[in-house]
Amino acid sequence: MRREDVLIETVQDITLDDIKGSNLLEIYNKIYGFSAESLYRASKILKSIAKECDLRFLSFTANLVSTGLRGLFADLIRRGFFNMVVTTGGTIDHDIARSFGGKYYKGSFDYSDEELRKINVHRLGNILIPFEDYGGVVERAVSQVLPPLVKERKEWPVYELLWEFGRRISDQHSILKASYETKTPIIVPGVVDGSFGTNLFVQSQFTGLRINLFEDMRLIKDRVFESEKAGALLVGGGISKHHTIWWNQFRDGLDYAVYLTTAQEFDGSLSGARPKEAISWNKIRDNAEQVVLYADATLALPLLAISLIS
């Protein structure tokens, strides 16, 4: 296997304009059966969140940021459909890597990982990431951006650090740039779990940097307690999903919730737990409009986004 044989076509980001004008959701409403009904219900709830909620959560996992959905997430934030983001550490890795020149490529689940390793290519599902377009890019970005910030002050909330990175990004498809432009907080409770967090730690050894996750928690706490109505689109599971619903229990639960997931509940995992289980934890209100849509986000999220612009 040679690199030039597999690193052929790069991943392209999409925006809301790319999917504008479709009437597919009404078609799904007519089909109605099985998952089509869940898709249509999810689209209606998202519209309600956009119109009625002053606190609008977008929660998602990092793997999706390696795909063209990165641009869609950025566009949803930039256009104000969501004003609080909760995600995982790898989201920052992928966004910085792609914002500072890294390129991701279309691949296959069936490629030999042993052969990919020999030619210095990572595989994330069917996305290919050259070694030099990931870790090294993130390391250089952190080492360039961080030292001047630490001279301003030693201790930073993570969401403010991310705004500073977004301020220095020119890529319009960047989630961090969209967050900075709209002052939408990105909350990353597991920020040290990834290349960005590791590089923050490395820089702290030389600069004295301290990150203050309690300030991130204070921000999300204040937004939750101040909200009149709160809704959330939760894509995937794990820490980003849990952090979102965890804080909303203190306001007696979300008023609206859309779960988009491929995880199942039979093993008792948080990732697979359905919205109705969250009711028992006070994380979603018992009268909330809620739905779980079982689908791959790369298929379903563009369809759901249609509901916000149609």
Tokens matching residue 63: 């793997």
Q: Distance between CA 145 and CA 71 in Å, rounded?
A: 23
| Cβ–Cβ under 8 Å, residues 260 and 300 | yes
The CA distance from 100 to 141, in Å, is 7
Give 169-220 as a 3 state SS string.
CCCCCCHHHHHHHHCCCEECCCCCCCHHHHHHHHHHHHHCCEECHHHHHHHH
Burial zone of 229 (CB within 10 Å; 0-12 exposed, 13-18 middle, 19+ buried): middle
Taking the C-alpha atoms of residue 184 and residue 74, their distance in angstroms, rounded to an integer, is 11
Spatial neighbors of 90 by CB under 8 A, at least 6 apart, are 61, 62, 63, 65, 193, 194
Distance CA 288, CA 164 (A): 36
Active-site residue identified among 20, 103, 177, 283? 283
Name the pairing type of β-strands 121-124 and 127-130: antiparallel
Half-sphere exposure of 107 (CA within 13 A, CB side): 26
Is 276 noted as a catalytic residue in this protein?
A: no
**Which DSSP symbol is given to 119?**
T
* Residues labelled as active-site residues: 283
